[in-house]
Amino acid sequence: MSAPSSTAHRPRPQVVIVGDAEQALRRLGDWQAIDARADVKVHHLPLQGQALVNALKDADAMVLVRDRTPFDAALLAQLPRLRYVVFTGSRNSTLDLAALAAQDIPVSHTEWGPSKDSTCEMTWALILAATRQLEPHMARLREGQWRAAASEPLAGVLHGKTLGLIGLGEIGGRVARVGKALGMNIITWSPRMTPERAAEHGAQAVSLEALLGSSQVVSLHLVPTPATRHVLNAERLGLMQPGSLLVNTSRSALIDGAALVDALGKGRPGFAALDVFDVEPLPADDPLRRLPNVLLTPHLGFVVEPVYQRFAAGVTECLQAWLDGKPLVRLASPA
């Protein structure tokens, strides 16, 4: 792979970063060598439509932070200068790798860092905060109060309760271990779950319907596929116990969003703790914001310093190799 060519009218390559909402890549990476060779522009706010085209139209190289910016063949057709793409993490569900490959545009990615550990911890932060009603208690203290003005249901205890895990991969397995440590009964389902695999994590394999009907806490840990899209639809949400807690730190596509709003209004589930949404940032008029029985966080599962340190190091490593005309690292395949 040859180094980026220079011309009389564009002597320096243009590098554009989009989706860095945390404003972390420049802070955590060593950009000195790259800045000496290229002009780097960072966009922190979400971009779409013509604003996204305008931001990228002069880019020789582009950096995508996670899958926050959908990139398809139609967008690529409007970016004639683009010659190299880097994305953070090891996969990007909104990046059309086939379209880039058809134009002989190489794509690299970074390593992940401890994102599975951080997502597990985020899952338990939501479970514990929702179970112990931390949000309303903290709000009362800030308002100068101590206890609620009227009698209301008190917090529950997780020990002895059933935790239903939809998905038992690397993150789900970590969540299961914490649940066992808290004295919870662990049951699980996924499209390819076996009793033997569940037993390796101290869990029992059950049907999805049995999981939803018998769990006090249900947590999602599946990779979205056509088969698992809206795996929790209106019918299945209606199987959940009154007062149960639904937690999603995976992907919003696993839940029918409109059906969830309706189900929460009916009390099945009784509460939802969500870190992922169909549209991000979550629109100000989204009905989830108006529900009293939700705990909402702005997609923080992987957003921790060690992960972004790895992202920043990987991005600068990839760009430096490209600028130097060296073999590109961690190339992504369209297959």
How many separate domains does the chain show?
A: 2
The pLDDT value given to residue 5: 47
Q: What range defines the domain where residue 172 resides?
A: 115-296
Q: What is the mean pLDDT of each run of 10 residues along the chain (335 residues)?
A: 47 95 97 98 95 97 96 97 97 95 98 97 98 97 96 96 98 98 98 97 98 98 94 98 97 98 97 97 97 98 98 98 97 87
Is 8 within a domain?
no
Residues with Cβ within 8 Å of 255's Cβ and at least 6 positions away in sequence, in order, are 220, 230, 231, 232, 237, 246, 248
Is 214 within a domain?
yes
The pLDDT value given to residue 7: 40
Residues 149, 31 share a domain: no
Residues 279, 152 share a domain: yes
The pLDDT value given to residue 76: 98
The pLDDT value given to residue 9: 56
Q: Which residues are catalytic?
A: 251, 280, 299
CATH number, position 292: 3.40.50.720
Residues 269, 137 share a domain: yes
Residues 219, 135 share a domain: yes
Residues 185, 157 share a domain: yes
Is 317 within a domain?
yes
The residue type found at 212 is L
Is 76 within a domain?
yes
The pLDDT value given to residue 147: 95
Is 333 within a domain?
no
The pLDDT value given to residue 2: 43
Residues with Cβ within 8 Å of 260's Cβ and at least 6 positions away in sequence, in order, are 232, 237, 246, 272
Residues 208, 129 share a domain: yes
Residues 89, 149 share a domain: no
Query: Nearest 10 degrees: CA dihedral of 23, 25, 30, 36?
Result: -80
Residues 108, 144 share a domain: no
185 forms beta bridges with: 162
Residues 278, 129 share a domain: yes
Residues 275, 138 share a domain: yes
* 155-197 per-position pLDDT tens digit: 999 999 999 999 999 999 999 999 999 999 999 999 999 999 9
Is 9 within a domain?
no
Cβ proximity of 221 and 175 under 8 Å: yes
Token look-up 């959940």 returns: 240
Is 72 within a domain?
yes
Residues 276, 166 share a domain: yes
* 124-140 per-position pLDDT tens digit: 999 999 999 999 999 99
Contacts of 143-152 spanning 24+ positions with Cβ under 8 A = none
Is 185 within a domain?
yes
Cβ proximity of 328 and 318 under 8 Å: yes
Residues 287, 173 share a domain: yes
Whole-structure pTM value: 0.93
**Alpha-carbon gap, residue 332 to 202, rounded angstroms:** 35
Residues with Cβ within 8 Å of 148's Cβ and at least 6 positions away in sequence, in order, are 136, 140
